Amino acid sequence: MHFLAASIESLGAKVVGWFTVGYGMFAFLGRAGLLLLEPATWNRATFDVVVKQVYFTAVQILHVFLGYALLISWLIITIILSTARDFGLVEFASEMTIRVLVLELLPFLTALFVALRSGSAINTEVALMQVNNELDALAHCKVPPMQFEFLPRLIGGVVSVVTLAGLAGLLAMLMGYVAIYGANSAGFEPYTQTIAKIFDLKIMAGLIVKCALFGLAVTLIPVTAGLETPKKLFMVPVSVLRGMMRVFFAIVAIEGMSLALKYI
């Protein structure tokens, strides 16, 4: 009996914990969104920090990322093409390639890439800021950390994931064309038809929204996880660990939701 009560209690504590985390996250998002609506936010200084964030999240890793996207795309395209040829389904290969790579795999991998690189860095930095009292110092100076530190990170994350996923998608489409039709213009018409068939307004909007949500997840969750850190230096790794776990679950949840909306 005692054991049962204890386990129910621990379950309740967990649920309350999840709700607290979720509430904190969405409340933070709400504050960030409200701040976006204020004209005072849209000044040169915020823009400069956003530019800096985009530089660190997207531009700095562009060559590595594109190389990685090229490799993954090439592998997947080769697998799809050879399987399609084995089963005599080559006419479906281009559609399959685009659907698998451009719509699903590359945005997902982009989100993971940015999460691993920038998300973890953001989580650590915010946790350290919190532990070192830097946020208190900013508060004392009446410098709003949301506008100056967090909002630019969120915007930078969204912009970066959308752009990187888009670039990787374009690259994959180009590679798919070359792999299927070779380096000539003979396949342009049918390939265009396939692309036209796949990318209707709903799919395009869904893709952009999904990438934006990915971008938000890989920055918002680390920031809130960092802010939750108790003021003890040894809690920083714990904070990063928790934050990154949440990021991972969020990415999988977003991907699952988008698949469910698209195919069910």
Partner 1 sequence: MNKLHFKVGLFAAASLLLAAVFIVYLLHARGFFEKTFHLQLAAASADGVAPGVPVVFSGIEIGRVTSLGLNDDGGIIIRTEFLGRNAKWLKENSTFTLDKPIVGGAKIRVDSPDLKAPALPDNATMLLLTSDISKEIPALVARVQAILANVEYLTRKDGDLNTTLANARTVTGRMTGEYGMLEGVLGSPEKARALTDSLEKTRALITRLDGLAAKADQWLFAEKGVADQTRESLAQVRLMLNDAQSSLKKADATMANAVEITDNVKASTQDLVQLRAEIDDAVRKANDLVNEINKKWPFARKPEVKLP
Partner 2 sequence: MDGLSDDVARVSLDLPLRANLSALDNIALIPLYQRHYSAPESTRLAHAMLEELGYAGIALLRDPDMTPAQRFVTKLARALSLKRPRLVIDRPGAMLYDVPYPAFIAQLAAKTETAGTWEIFDFSWNQALYRA
Contact residues toward partner 1 (CB under 8 A) are 51-52, 54-55, 58-59, 62, 88-89, 91-92, 163, 166-167, 170, 189-190, 192-197, 199-200, 204
Using an 8 Å Cβ cutoff, are 98 and 76 in contact?
Answer: no
Between the alpha carbon of residue 11 and those of residues 16, 22, 248, the distances in Å are 9, 16, 22
Using an 8 Å Cβ cutoff, are 221 and 29 in contact?
Answer: no
Binding string, residues 36-55; x marks residues near partner 2 by CB under 8 A: ----x--xxx--x-------
Cβ proximity to partner 2: between 140 and 232 the closer is 140
Among partner 1, partner 2, none, the one that 64 touches (CB under a kind-dependent 5 to 8 A) is: none
Using an 8 Å Cβ cutoff, are 158 and 215 in contact?
Answer: yes
Q: Which of 2, 3, 38, 140 binds partner 2 (CB under 8 A)?
A: 140
Question: Smallest distance from the beta carbon of 36 to partner 2, in angstroms?
Answer: 16
Within 10 Å of residue 139's Cβ, how many Cβ atoms? 12
Among partner 2, partner 1, none, the one that 62 touches (CB under a kind-dependent 5 to 8 A) is: partner 1
Cβ proximity to partner 2: between 180 and 223 the closer is 223
Token output for 139: 């508060």
Question: Smallest distance from the beta carbon of 222 to partner 2, in angstroms?
Answer: 16
Token output for 13: 């504590």
- The candidate with the shortest Cα–Cα distance to 222, out of 132, 136, 130, is 130
Cβ proximity to partner 1: between 38 and 189 the closer is 189
- The candidate with the shortest Cα–Cα distance to 231, out of 141, 130, 138, 142, is 130
By CB under 8 A, name the binding residues for partner 2.
40, 43-45, 48, 125, 128-129, 132-134, 136-138, 140-144, 147-148
